[in-house]
Amino acid sequence: MAAPDTSSKTAAEWKAIICTHIDALADELIGLSHDIHAHPELAFEEHHASAVLTASLAAHGLSPQHPAFGLATSFVARAGDIGPNVVICCEYDALPGIGHGCGHNIIGTAGLGAGLALASVAQAIGGRVTILGTPAEEGGLGKVRLLEAGAFADADVAMMVHPEPANVEIAPYLANDQVTVTMSGKAAHASSSPWAGVNALDALVLGYTGMLALKATLRSDERLHGIITNGGDVDNVIPAVATGVFRVRAKNARRLSGLKDRLTACFEGAAAQIGARCELSWRGPMQDVRANTVLAAAFRRNGESLDRVFLDPKSIPYDVAGSTDMGNVSYAVPSIHPVIDVGALVGGHTVEMTAASIARGGDAAVIDGAKMLAMTAIDVWLDSGLLEAARAEFARLSL
Ligand SMILES: [Zn+2]
Ligand SMILES: [Zn+2]
C-alpha cells in the first residue's frame, strides 16, 4: 500500500474536496433524512433507520457491520488504516407520539454524509474514520451499552451534531438518572375495611409531594420530574401496589448523587409514614457532557466558514438544558456534542421540531452538519498540534 501523501494538499484543499463530495451526496442524504423521519422508531427498535443507513454505506463501497456490538439496531463501518480515529455518532431514534421531535433523522444522515466524505479521502490523508450507529439515545442509554461493548475503545475523538434552534459549539447538558419507585402495601375493601389495608398509592403520592417540596429548593441546573404509572386497579380497593417513574438531573455526577439521595429520602420517608414498603430501582446514571474545548473551537471555525453564526456558549443558560448519553462518551474519549440551527425557533421534543426536522432549515442542517463534522475530522487528522491539545485537555480534566 502506498504511503499517504499529505504534503500535496493543504487542510483547506482537503476540506474543499470533502464539501464538494457532500454537496454531491445532498439529494441522497436529504432523501434518507426524510425517509427516517417518515418511519419513526423508538429506542432499540430502529430497524428501518439502521437498515437504510447501512445500505447507503454499502452502496458507497464500505463494509458496514449490522448488527454491531450486540445491539440489533447498531452498526459500524470503518475506513482508513492508520492515523487518528474519528468516531462519528449517528443517532436515529424517535419519540413516542411526536416522531422525530428531537430531529435525530438529521443526526443520522449528517453523520452518514460526514462519514462517506471522510471515507473517500481517509487513505490518501492517513486518517481513520468510524461511522457508528448509536441507537436508543432517548432514554435507552444506547451509547452506554456501546461504550461497555468496546465501540469507543480505539477512538481518538468522538463527535456528533444535534439539531436545535441555534448554532452553538458547546451547549450545557445535565447529568441524569431515572428511578422506578414501587410502593407496596396491602389491599382491602375501601369502604368496609379500610383499616385493614395499607394504601400504596397514598405512600407514593406522599413521596411525590415530598418531591414537590424539594423541587422548590432546586438550582437552575437541577431538575426533578416524573409521573405516576400505576395508581391502582379500581377505586373501591385500597391499592396494594403503586408505581411511578422519576427523573433526577443535575450539573454533574457529584451533584446528581446528592439530589438522588434527597429524592430517595422523600419516598422512603413517605413509605415509613404509611407503613408501606418502598423499592427504588435506578436505571444508571447518564453523565453531563464534558465538551472538549479544542475540538469545539475547531468545529465552530468550520461552521463559520460555511457562514453559520454561532452563539456564545456562555450565553446559553442551564434553564434550557436537557441530557444525552453522549455525556458518558465525553468522559471516556475527547468528544464534542455541538448543536446546529434548524432555522426555526422551536424547542426539542415538540411537534414543531418534528416539522422543522424536514423543512428547509432541517435539510440544510443535514448538509452543513455533515460538512462541519467532516472538516473538524480533517483538522484532527492533519493538525497534530490540535489533537495533542485536545488530548492534553482531556487528560487534565480526567485527573
Ligand atoms: Zn431528545
Ligand atoms: Zn436528541
pLDDT of residue 10: 95
Spacing, Cα 242 to ligand 2 middle (Å): 31
Spacing, Cα 8 to ligand 2 middle (Å): 39
Q: Which residues surround ligand 2, an ion (CB under 5 A)?
A: 102
Spacing, Cα 268 to ligand 1 middle (Å): 31
Spacing, Cα 205 to ligand 2 middle (Å): 31
- State the CB neighbour count (10 A cutoff) for residue 86: 30
Spacing, Cα 337 to ligand 2 middle (Å): 11
pLDDT of residue 3: 55
Spacing, Cα 139 to ligand 1 middle (Å): 9
Q: What is the tens place of the pLDDT at every residue in 193-218?
A: 999 999 999 999 999 999 999 999 99
Q: What is the tens place of the pLDDT at every residue in 238-269?
A: 999 999 999 999 999 999 999 999 999 999 99
Euclidean distance between CA atoms 316 and 310, whole angstroms: 11
Low-confidence ranges of the chain (pLDDT < 50): 1-2
pLDDT of residue 110: 99
Ligand sitting nearest the alpha carbon of 108: 2
Spacing, Cα 138 to ligand 1 middle (Å): 6
Ligand sitting nearest the alpha carbon of 162: 2
Place of cell 469545539: 296
pLDDT of residue 7: 60
Q: Which residues contact 201 (CB under 8 A, 6 or more apart)?
A: 183, 231, 232, 239, 242
